[in-house]
Structure 1
Amino acid sequence: MSIAKEPRFKMISFFGGSFDPIHYGHLKNATQLKTELGLSKLFLMPCAKPVHKKQLNFNVNQRMDMLRLAVEEFNTLSIDTREVNHNRDSYTIDSLKHIQSDYQNDSICLIMGVDSFNTLSSWKAYQVFYQYCHLVVIARADTFTHQEKYGFKLTSTVGDLAKQKTGFVFFANNQILDISSSAIHDILLNILQRRINTTLSNKIRDQQNLSKLLPKSIIDYIDTL
């Protein structure tokens, strides 16, 4: 008599955000997660009009340009354009429904930071997310709130994410770059304010500050704007 094998689904993951701009924190965390969790695909999913962030540094076309430059260097990552193609307020629940329809035979993982996880109750229809995806939460080293929330079952076993298509929350303790978007915003604001009268020394300093946060191709792109 043969023993039935446990189902194992391909894990398709989506990392959403405004990516304003995409930076090393996004890219290195995503690359590490794809490798360590054995994700079949990891899509960066930019939003056109983020509901929780009213003011952006760059328009949607500029953010897409920078994403394309980023994945040329970080070529294990892909881009999903479903939200920018619609060019309207981006609600994750709408994207999850379309994703589930597109990947009916796969396990769907939604990647987010711990701050987003802790405020998920402010998101549209958050109560039913567990029906459409697993959550993979990028938890900082000082995060101790690993818990079941929002209908998701807590697991510390990566393999559980492949055994069923939705419903688990997994905390990934990535010990790599934790970059503040506000820090990048402050540097960019200084660059733009000083651009007209900037000196060579200021420009070099700005480039050095940004080089710790952004790939060179994106720094060069920003410099052309």
Structure 2
Amino acid sequence: MGSERMEMRKRQTSVSQETPSSVQAPPEIGNRGSNACCFCWCCCCSCSCLTVRNQDETTGAVLHELRSDPISNCEESSTPTVEEVKAWGKSFEKLMRAPTGRNVFREFLQSEFSDENILFWLACEDLKQESNDSIIQEKVKRIYEDYVSILSPKEVSLDSRVRELINRNMLEPSQYSFDDAQLQIYTLMYRDSYPRFLNSAFYKDLLESVSQKSAEA
């Protein structure tokens, strides 16, 4: 399992290093002065070949739509419809909006030994909901130790530029300390993991299952 995780990390590192030149983030992302949130999605806690279409245009548009229609915390998964599952095959945004979609995607990431990516994303979302300064500092420290530190077994793949920004932000922790890192990990999942997910048994079996239930109804 260790060798498989190492191989996965190498591939993710390669993808994440390409992110700055291939994906354009919205202008407000990374602007700490405005306290603008790069993500406004919320997911349920852990108790939350088809090709990715039009990759060059997605990040800004997806973030804008999700920012205007946030997902509430602690949603429970429900059985999806055929239409919903098919929509996940066309839109990573819709997959990430749906509680069941996120749970299935997380299962897939676990099978690839890369679920630290969605766990980091969830932790960042949780951080953004906090308003107490002392709790914010505790959560920022925990996220850093769990997902950013090179000593952590759950370290996510971030490039040197983003790591430098995080280190600066650690001097004055806030809800937005990991905005740039969260964007990079979202992009990594979208570009690297999502296409494989669409070809996985997780997605295909779910689509077949809901299609059969729909036909029997």
Which TM-score band applies after superposition, normalised by the shorter structure?
under 0.3
So what's the TM-score if we normalise by structure 1? 0.24
So what's the TM-score if we normalise by structure 2? 0.25
Larger proportion of helix = 2
Larger radius of gyration: 1
